[in-house]
Chains A and B, each alone.
Chain A
Amino acid sequence: KAGVTQTPRYLIKTRGQQVTLSCSPISGHRSVSWYQQTPGQGLQFLFEYFSETQRNKGNFPGRFSGRQFSNSRSEMNVSTLELGDSALYLCASSPLAGQYEQYFGPGTRLTVT
């Protein structure tokens, strides 16, 4: 089975712009979660989607949003980018909602200048 894929892998944006990141989960998986990884804050939960519904949201400002499509693919969007948004954004896929194994993709490295 193919693993979790994320596109693009690298992205450079300017402060104030917006960005959309994409995640395709493992085939058959219906839950997608997003995490932000930075050297200072570590791995932090952004949000989780299951069956096109946001089930849980982390402590991030409203500039961070996401959605899930009927084929379980997910996108996250960050509007009005700030320098502090520079991070590795990781997507994790799980078969179902609840305490199931989560498998991470390689991440999208976002640099905001």
Chain B
Amino acid sequence: GENVEQHPSTLSVQEGDSAVIKCTYSDSASNYFPWYKQELGKGPQLIIDIRSNVGEKKDQRIAVTLNKTAKHFSLHITETQPEDSAVYFCAASGRPGYGNKLVFGAGTILRVKS
């Protein structure tokens, strides 16, 4: 089955710097890749997603890139702010017959120091 690896497990950056989180997936049939942000005591919040027919997607300070050949995708956060501090999860989905099943990475704890 699908396996998603996420790196790094923790990331500390200075306010205003950029942060990059990388994920690799194993199932070449996966075609949907969302990113979630989870704050303490809350459920994961969808922040951006990308589908396999797109190489890059941007939403204000957040961008995601996808390399289908290498089977990896990355989250880029620019001009980080203290409120960006949270746990970020990548996920993969899309094998026919798997419905909406998401396979998640282990998560990255992002700390933005002010």
Judged by DSSP, the binding face of B is: loop
Contact A104 B43 (CB under 8 A): yes
State which of B31, B43, B106 has its C-beta within 8 Å of the C-beta of A99.
B31
Give the dominant DSSP class at A's interface. Answer: strand
| Given A42-B107, A43-B104: A98 touches B99 (CB 8 Å cut-off) | yes
Q: Taking A90-B43, A99-B31, A99-B51 as contacts, is the C-beta distance between A104 and B99 under 8 angstroms?
A: no
Does A102 contact B34, Cβ atoms closer than 8 Å? yes
**Residue in A90, A94, A104, A105 whose beta carbon sits within 8 Å of that of B100 in the complex:** A94
Total A residues in contact with B, Cβ cutoff 8 Å: 27
A-B Cβ contacts below 8 A, count: 66
Question: Measured between alpha carbons, how far is A101 from B93 in the docked complex, in Å?
Answer: 11
Q: Are B100 and A48 in contact (CB under 8 A)?
A: yes
Contact of B106 with A104 in the complex, beta carbons under 8 Å: no
A58 in complex: contacting residue of B36, B41, B101, B107, CB < 8 Å? B101
Residues in chain B within 8 A of chain A (CB atoms)? 31-32, 34, 36, 41-46, 49, 51, 89, 91, 93-94, 97-107
